[in-house]
Amino acid sequence: MTKQQEYISFIISELEKGNVERKIVLSKFVKKWHTSDRTFDRVWKKANEEYSGRQKSIQKQKEELYTKSELERQNEAILSREKILEMSSNISKQLYDKILSDNDNIKSQDVLAFNSINERISKMQGFEAPKKVENEIKGAKHIIKGQKFAKKPNSNDTGN
């Protein structure tokens, strides 16, 4: 390690300790190496640039980690369509089994819940999607009444 790198490492270590004031670091630096203020100023500038670069890099990594963890958390909180269908199907099966096993004591709440959950499943699966209807307009003779649009009848026209 060269003297320059040693100086920079010393200043960076002081910055990391929280000594960010020039005069405090200068006194420690001069006491240790007996250099001029001008030498210190050159090294101080380089050390601050390097320290700032490190801090920016650390901050960027923190932001990336935070963003990644936040996205994962949100994705876990949002149920996927398949998961909702699976859960709804399980509830429907449980209600069906409950209704079948207790024929004598069937509650209207259970039947309503069973119908409601199956309705929801049907909508999610697209069973209730509207059917495509083909509309075909066949040629027809339109009769328009009124003076402005009406044609004068021809003697050849039969009316059909």
Regarding whether 85 and 73 lie in a shared domain, the answer is no
Residue in 24, 25, 21, 13 with CA at minimum distance from that of residue 51: 13
Q: Does residue 102 sit within a domain?
A: yes
Regarding whether 115 and 65 lie in a shared domain, the answer is no
Regarding whether 100 and 87 lie in a shared domain, the answer is yes
The label of the residue with tokens 């949100």 reads 74
Structural domain count of the chain:
2
Whether residue 29 contacts residue 10, with contact meaning beta carbons closer than 8 Å, is answered with yes
Q: What is the pLDDT of residue 124?
A: 81
Regarding whether 15 and 38 lie in a shared domain, the answer is yes
Regarding whether 69 and 114 lie in a shared domain, the answer is no
Whether residue 117 contacts residue 91, with contact meaning beta carbons closer than 8 Å, is answered with yes
Regarding whether 72 and 22 lie in a shared domain, the answer is yes
Residues 81-140: tens digit of each pLDDT: 788 888 889 999 998 888 888 877 888 888 888 889 888 888 888 777 666 655 655 665
Residues 7-51: tens digit of each pLDDT: 999 999 999 999 999 999 999 999 999 999 999 999 999 999 999
Q: Which of 77, 104, 135 is the last residue of a domain?
A: 77
Domain range for 92: 81-125
Question: CA-to-CA distance for 131 and 11, rounded, in angstroms?
Answer: 76
Residues 44-71: tens digit of each pLDDT: 999 999 999 999 999 999 999 999 999 8
Regarding whether 19 and 62 lie in a shared domain, the answer is yes
